[in-house]
């Protein structure tokens, strides 16, 4: 297990380094000059050159990359070209919105999808089992922004039971107000995510229900609940855990759409602002933090799978002893 951890940590570090290289190079290939964001219309070539020198974009690309890599190594993401504020503090202030939004939606999606997916598999031969499976398939075709706007129309404009968007200026100083503003965004993400998770939970449960070990446990006198708990849950959870990791990472990355619909000051809106202003440090910082979060989520999902399934911890038959 220790060898696996060291190998995965090394892979994580190498992948993160490659991500910094790709992010840096791709960003420089985009059209537009960040110096233009600092100048008014009709700036002279001398003023443009002075602005480029001020923000350092006139230096060779290798020198710019080494400078940025040195900053990242010291957990310094630089300063915004436009606002001159530290990028790290801007990202931290936005994470207090994006992280709770992602985690609350993820938890609600699990609460919805696990029992519904199990019921859809257990009663797959009944009409309501087929309906649950069909609804989950239909949910995959629903765009998250469309569902968000639909919920706004119903609960904010028609019923007036929830705000249509925004977030308290003092963030979580008033937890009740903050949670109230996150109700519709969380519900939007959770419903879309549940449609996908229900399918995977249903598929994993069907595999367990048709397995020989479950039938053997029942034949030896175990009740269905006992056999499922002792033998079925662990085996069914192994493939689902990997999907949960993917869904959590996707939700974190896709928060930009939901934050735009509900006007939330999260990481996604900061990224959109940075792109519109060609603010390289902000874009690089947001994408680097997002990439790191995705890699860590994948690492934790792999680790959880190995803890659940002892077969993954066994040495490979072809491995050297």
pLDDT digit string, tens, across residues 64-76:
888 888 888 888 8
Banded pLDDT at 315 (limits 50, 70, 90) = low
Q: pTM for this structure?
A: 0.82
Rounded to 5 degrees, φ, ψ at 79 are: -120, 145
Report how far residue 207's alpha carbon sits from residue 224's, in angstroms, rounded to the nearest whole number: 15
Report how far residue 262's alpha carbon sits from residue 311's, in angstroms, rounded to the nearest whole number: 45
Cα dihedral 57, 63, 67, 69 in deg (nearest 10): 110
Q: Return the structure tokens found at 140.
A: 């995959």
Q: CB atoms < 10 A from the CB of 275, how many? A: 15
pLDDT at residue 320 tops 60: no
Residues of the chain with pLDDT > 90, as a percent, come to 8
Per-domain boundaries in the chain: 2-73, 96-265
The mean pLDDT of 26-52, rounded to a whole number, is 77
pLDDT of residue 313: 61
Contact 37, 281 (CB under 8 A): no
Q: CB atoms < 10 A from the CB of 6, how many? A: 10
Fold of 96-265: MetI-like fold (1.10.3720)
In the DSSP assignment, the letter for residue 42 is T
Q: How far is CA 173 from CA 18, 95, 306, in A?
A: 39, 15, 39
Report how far residue 278's alpha carbon sits from residue 81's, in angstroms, rounded to the nearest whole number: 9
Say which range, 3-7, 113-117, 150-154, 267-271, has the weakest mean pLDDT: 3-7
Report how far residue 183's alpha carbon sits from residue 252's, in angstroms, rounded to the nearest whole number: 17
Banded pLDDT at 81 (limits 50, 70, 90) = confident
Q: Which residues contact 70 (CB under 8 A, 6 or more apart)?
A: none
Residue 86 β-bridge partners: 79
pLDDT in tens, 206-232: 888 787 777 787 788 877 778 777 777
pLDDT in tens, 92-151: 989 999 999 999 999 999 999 888 888 888 787 777 777 777 777 777 777 888 888 899
């Amino acid at each position: 297990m220790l060898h696996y951890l060291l190998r995965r940590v090394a892979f994580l570090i190498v992948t993160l380094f490659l991500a910094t290289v790709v992010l840096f190079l791709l960003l420089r290939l985009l059209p537009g000059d960040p110096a233009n964001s600092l100048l008014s219309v009709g700036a002279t070539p001398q003023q443009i050159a002075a602005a480029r020198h001020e923000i350092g974009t006139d230096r060779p690309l290798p020198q710019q990359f080494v400078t940025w890599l040195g900053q990242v190594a010291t957990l310094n993401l630089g300063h915004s070209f436009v606002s001159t504020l530290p990028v790290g503090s801007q990202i931290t202030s936005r994470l207090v919105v994006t992280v709770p939004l992602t985690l609350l939606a993820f938890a609600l999606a699990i609460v919805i999808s696990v029992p519904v997916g199990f019921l859809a598999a257990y009663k797959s031969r009944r009409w309501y089992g087929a309906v649950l499976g069909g609804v989950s398939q239909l949910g995959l075709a629903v765009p998250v922004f469309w569902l968000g706007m639909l919920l706004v129309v119903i609960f904010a404009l028609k019923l007036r039971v929830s705000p249509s968007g925004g977030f308290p200026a003092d963030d979580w100083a008033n937890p009740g107000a903050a949670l109230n503003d996150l109700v519709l965004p969380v519900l939007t993400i959770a419903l879309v995510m549940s449609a996908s998770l229900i399918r995977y939970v249903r598929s994993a449960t069907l595999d367990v229900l048709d397995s020989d070990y479950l039938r053997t446990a029942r034949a030896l006198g175990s009740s269905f609940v006992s056999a499922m708990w002792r033998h079925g849950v662990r085996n069914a959870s192994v493939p689902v855990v990997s999907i949960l990791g993917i869904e959590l990472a996707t939700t974190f990355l896709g928060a930009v759409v939901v934050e735009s619909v509900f006007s939330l000051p999260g990481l996604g809106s900061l990224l959109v602002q940075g792109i519109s202003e060609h603010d390289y440090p902000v874009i690089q910082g947001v994408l680097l933090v997002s990439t790191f979060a995705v890699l860590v989520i994948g690492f934790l999902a792999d680790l959880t799978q190995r803890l659940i399934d002892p077969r993954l911890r066994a040495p490979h038959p072809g491995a050297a002893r």
